[in-house]
Amino acid sequence: MTWLVWRQYRAQGAIAVALLAAAAAVILADGLQIASHWHTILVTCAGNSTCLQQQGPLVNGVVSDLPYISLIVPVVLGMLWGAPLVGHELETRTSEFAWTQSVTRTRWLTVKVGWLLLAAAVCLGVITTLITWWAGPGNARFASAFEPGHFDTQGIVPIGYAVFAMALGIAAGTVARRTLPAIAVVLGGFIGLRLVISDFLRQHYMAAVTKYYSVTGSFTPRGQAWVLAQGAVSRTGRVVATGWGDLYPALPASCQKLLPGTPGAKSGASLDAVFSCMRAHGWRGFVTYQPASRYWPFQGIETGIYVLLAAALVAVTFVIIRTRDA
Amino acid sequence: MSTAVETHELSKRYRRVSALTECTVTVPEGRVSALVGPNGAGKTTLLRILAGLASPTGGTACVLGGAPRQDPAFLAEIGFLAQEIPLYGRFTAEDHIRIGAHMNPRWDSALARTRLAELRIPLDQRVGTLSGGQRAQVALALTLAKRPRLLLLDEPVAALDPLARRNFLATLASGMADAEGGLTVVLSSHLITDLERVCDHIVLLTGSRVQLCGDIEALLAEHKILVGPRKDTAPIERTHRVVQTAATPRQSTLLVRLSGPVVDPAYQAEDVTLEELVLAYMGAGEASAGRHLTTVGEGS
């Protein structure tokens, strides 16, 4: 059975290895250049993050889009390997050839799905390792380690994406019995789910931390934390976002008069006076955030979600292949 | 003699359409059975159920001593060739032979290679680029190389030209000879003339029901064409089953399944050919489509 898989995919496998080698060469060449540039900057900035942020792009312009490799490859694999895996065989009815050899459908599917999922995971494992290394110096520029285009191109999540995209293609091809609709499902389903998870779900993986502080002081979460909300909260619990446009109307009248440049501002008005007034009225500042230390737990949770979804899709595929008439 | 295929009131419904209705069929071991019937009669459905590719919605099927199932031991006994001749178009015949060797316990690569060499079919050419007849030959050679005990062929010659058809049937016949009685074949066609030379058993389906099942020689002996004056056929029908009636103003021709001698001297009995027999039953089946028809009994 493994020989059949090898025969079916050896050409595609060779192309994949060649493309992977080419991508690795580009990433390595560019990454080494960045690394030397990085060491030069370190000498002058000595770990001062403000200085680092002023150093401009650490990445040279031509290949700054390299992380998109880990964004795009999973969905491409889902469309080119996942969707036809069962769909094309049903479409051309070669499944009937395979299923009337002395091999059960379950074994046929296990071997095919097993090897192809492994291949996809290895592909993305290589890519994400290279990209994570390549992006190391540049990551220092980001305020948050959880930003889309950053969090989801490095670490282990790209492997989860690839496994999920493959499983989605396999299941869709099995249900539709054709390749083309399955490709459409992978494209739409994968992008849709990625957006929903990164925009709405990711921030809730773990309960966010909210830190209250005196409005006359300040607080910045340590490291590249993910700030979800910040602003001021009144004694009665009224929450107002940062920015004077929102804050001003919510302030007590006595504090409003201390804000410079507003109609009826008192003499001696200053921002410090406003903050002192706010504190006197029981206002506090707050920051709601995911601490930087949660980067790897979040990577693990997100990978887990995609792998579990993939497992469910594969299970559905097995049930259909076993029970549905060929 | 043991039976290779035995079904009992086998039925298959697809939503509201009945593809097979209470089909009871027996094929003894070592026979070549023609599964005949018009398009849409249920031939493909029956073969697919026997091969374990589809499951029945009613009744039972027993193939080589057990129900068709997804099990390596069962699958090793069955050779199935679908009407579309599904092969991997981008693979060569040699690739297919090697796939077969990896996926079957009793595989005979040499047999397949020899057969294709005899037919001058290139082993190293993508099968997608071969002619329809050559593809069918490759598929048959592969199916025979599996050394099955039951070969199920769905309309294998329908798409072939007469020469390719003859070559195909010759390959099948030599496969039968090689197997020395250990191989049973069921092959479907909508035309009996395609198969008459190789078959000794027949299953006739029309409108999802079995009309006729049995040994061809025995069936031919049981049926006669009665030619006589045009008169009431009721006395004949009391003892025999009249399958088909054709009448001119002066004479009537009856195709009859006899159960005993014909006593009326007004009728002259003539032998029936297989084609006449099949067409008569097909006509009878068609005419009764819609009405409920009791299944005609078993032959042999």
Q: What is the ipTM of this complex?
A: 0.87
Taking CA atoms, what residue in A is nearest to B45?
A: A325
- Test B72 with A103 for CB contact under 8 angstroms: yes
| CB-closest option in B55, B71, B105 to A104 | B71
User: Quick one: pLDDT at residue B29?
Assistant: 93
Find the angle CA(B222)-CA(B255)-CA(B233) to the nearest 5 degrees: 115
- State the residue for tokens 């931390």: A209
Chain A neighbors of B89, CB-CB under 8 A: 92
For residues A89 and B289, the model is more confident at A89
CA distance A67 to A73: 10
- Test A7 with B146 for CB contact under 8 angstroms: no
Q: Tell me, what amino acid is at A318?
A: F
Task: Judge whether residue A85 has pLDDT over 70.
Answer: yes
Chain A neighbors of B17, CB-CB under 8 A: none
Task: Judge whether residue A284 has pLDDT over 90.
Answer: no
Top mean-pLDDT range of A102-111, A245-254, A272-281, B31-40:
A102-111
Task: Judge whether residue B17 has pLDDT over 80.
Answer: yes
Please, what sign has the CA dihedral across residues A211, A214, A215, A219? negative
For residues B181 and A307, the model is more confident at A307
Please, what sign has the CA dihedral across residues A172, A173, A175, A181? positive
| Tokens of residue B43, six digits | 């031939």
User: Quick one: pLDDT at residue A139?
Assistant: 74
Chain B neighbors of A91, CB-CB under 8 A: none
Task: Judge whether residue A195 has pLDDT over 90.
Answer: yes
* A60: CB partners within 8 A, 6+ apart: A30, A33, A34
For residues A143 and B293, the model is more confident at A143
- Test A101 with B104 for CB contact under 8 angstroms: yes
Put simply, the chain A residues between 284 and 303 with a CB less than 8 A from any chain B CB are none
Task: Judge whether residue A165 has pLDDT over 90.
Answer: yes
User: Quick one: pLDDT at residue A55?
Assistant: 59
Report the residue of B20, B53, B63 to disrupt the A interface, i.e. the one with the largest count of A CBs within 10 Å: B53
Residues B245 and B267 sit within 8 Å (Cβ to Cβ): no
B72–chain A nearest CA distance, Å: 5
Task: Judge whether residue A61 has pLDDT over 60.
Answer: no
Confidence of residue A63 (pLDDT cuts 50, 70, 90): low
A38-42, A143-147, B249-253, range with the lowest pLDDT: A38-42
Task: Judge whether residue B300 has pLDDT over 70.
Answer: no
- Test A105 with B70 for CB contact under 8 angstroms: yes
User: Quick one: pLDDT at residue B241?
Assistant: 87
| CB-closest option in A2, A4, A104 to B72 | A104
Task: Judge whether residue A260 has pLDDT over 90.
Answer: no
Mean pLDDT calculated for residue range A100-125: 96
B3-207 is classed CATH 3.40.50.300: yes
User: Quick one: pLDDT at residue B1?
Assistant: 59
User: Quick one: pLDDT at residue B298?
Assistant: 35
Q: Enter the pTM of the model.
A: 0.87
Mean pLDDT calculated for residue range A126-145: 82
On average, the pLDDT of chain A sits at 87
Task: Judge whether residue B297 has pLDDT over 50.
Answer: no
User: Quick one: pLDDT at residue B299?
Assistant: 34
Task: Judge whether residue B293 has pLDDT over 60.
Answer: no
A99–chain B nearest CA distance, Å: 8
User: Quick one: pLDDT at residue B263?
Assistant: 76
Mean pLDDT calculated for residue range B127-135: 92
Which spans in A82-178 are helix H?
A: 83-92, 94-99, 105-139, 157-176
Top mean-pLDDT range of A247-256, A304-313, B32-41, B274-283:
A304-313
Task: Judge whether residue A183 has pLDDT over 50.
Answer: yes
Task: Judge whether residue A141 has pLDDT over 80.
Answer: no
CA distance B251 to A299: 91
Q: What percent of chain A stands above pLDDT 70? A: 90
CA distance B79 to B139: 10
Mean pLDDT calculated for residue range A146-164: 91
Task: Judge whether residue B290 has pLDDT over 50.
Answer: no
| Annotated domain spans of chain B | 3-207, 217-287
Q: Is A101 exposed, middle or buried (0-12, 13-18, 19+ CB in 10 A)?
A: buried
Confidence of residue B288 (pLDDT cuts 50, 70, 90): low
- Test B95 with A106 for CB contact under 8 angstroms: no
Interface A:B, Cβ pairs < 8 A: 71
For residues B300 and A236, the model is more confident at A236
Confidence of residue B162 (pLDDT cuts 50, 70, 90): confident
Q: Is A38 exposed, middle or buried (0-12, 13-18, 19+ CB in 10 A)?
A: middle
Put simply, the chain A residues between 95 and 134 with a CB less than 8 A from any chain B CB are 95-107
Residue B215: phi and psi, rounded to 5, are -70, 135
| Tokens of residue B251, six digits | 């004479």
Q: What percent of chain B stands above pLDDT 70? A: 95
Pairing state between β B150-153 and B78-81: parallel
List pLDDT tens digits, range A4-25: 999 999 999 999 999 999 999 9
Chain A neighbors of B91, CB-CB under 8 A: 7
| Annotated domain spans of chain A | 2-206+297-323, 209-290
The CA-based dihedral angle spanning residues A186, A126, A198, A168, taken in that order and rounded to the nearest 10 degrees = 20
User: Quick one: pLDDT at residue A321?
Assistant: 96
For residues B151 and A266, the model is more confident at B151
Mean pLDDT calculated for residue range B20-32: 94
Task: Judge whether residue B186 has pLDDT over 70.
Answer: yes
| Tokens of residue A7, six digits | 């025969």
